[in-house]
Amino acid sequence: MTKGAKGKGPEEAPARRASDRGRYGRLSRERVLASALDLVDRDGLSALSMRRLGAELGVEAMALYRYASSKDALLDGLVEALHLELEERLGAEAVASEWRAELGRVGRATYEVCLAHPQVVPLLSTRMLAVPLARRPLATLRHHERVLALLQEAGLDAERSAAVFRAFTGWVLGYVSVELQAMVDNPEEPDPGFRLGLHHMPAQELPRLRKVAPALAERGGPEGLAAGLDALLERFVGEP
Q: Is the pLDDT of residue 8 over 70?
A: no
- In angstroms, rounded to a whole number, what is the distance separating the alpha carbons of residues 237 and 157? 12
Instruction: Indicate the helix (H) or strand (E) that contains 114.
Output: helix 99-116
Is pLDDT larger for residue 156 or for residue 4? 156
Mean pLDDT of the chain: 89
Q: In the chain, what percentage of residues exceed pLDDT 70?
A: 89
> 13 pLDDT exceeds 90?
no
Identify the CATH number of the domain defined by range 12-69.
1.10.10
Confidence of residue 19 (pLDDT cuts 50, 70, 90): low
Per-residue pLDDT at 198 exceeds 70: yes
Q: One fold for both 12-69 and 71-236?
A: no
- DSSP letter at 28 equals -
Buried b / exposed e across 131-159, counting CB within 10 Å, b at 16+? beeeebbebbeebeebbbebbeebebeee
What is the secondary structure of 141-209 as a DSSP string?
A: HHHHHHHHHHHHHTT--HHHHHHHHHHHHHHHHHHHHHHHS---S-TT--SHHHHHTGGGS-TTT-HHH
For residue 24, CA distances in Å to 29, 32, 94, 219 come to: 13, 11, 35, 38
Spans of all domains in the chain: 12-69, 71-236
Could you tell me whether strands 21-22 and 25-26 are parallel, antiparallel, or unpaired per DSSP bridges? Answer: antiparallel
How much is the average pLDDT of 24-33? Answer: 82
Q: Write phi, then psi, for 26 (nearest 5 degrees).
A: -65, 140
Tell me: the pLDDT tens digits for 175-190?
Answer: 999 999 999 999 999 9
CA 16/CA 62 separation, integer angstroms: 9
Answer yes or no: is pLDDT of 53 > 50. Answer: yes
- 71-236 belongs to which CATH class? mainly alpha
CA atoms of 138 and 4, how far apart (whole Å): 37
pLDDT tens profile 231-240: 999 988 877 6
For residues 171 and 165, give the distance between their C-alpha atoms in angstroms, rounded to a whole number.
10
Position 174: which residue type? G
Encode pLDDT of 102-141 as tens digits.
999 999 999 999 999 999 999 999 999 999 999 999 999 9
The number of C-alpha atoms within 13 Å of 88 and in the hemisphere containing its C-beta is 7
Mean pLDDT of 162-184: 95
CA distances from 158 to 102, 138, 143, 236 (A): 19, 21, 17, 14
| Helix and strand totals (H; E) in the chain | 11, 2
Q: What is the pLDDT of residue 15?
A: 39
Whether residue 9 is predicted with pLDDT greater than 80 in this model: the reply is: no
Mean pLDDT of 53-70: 91
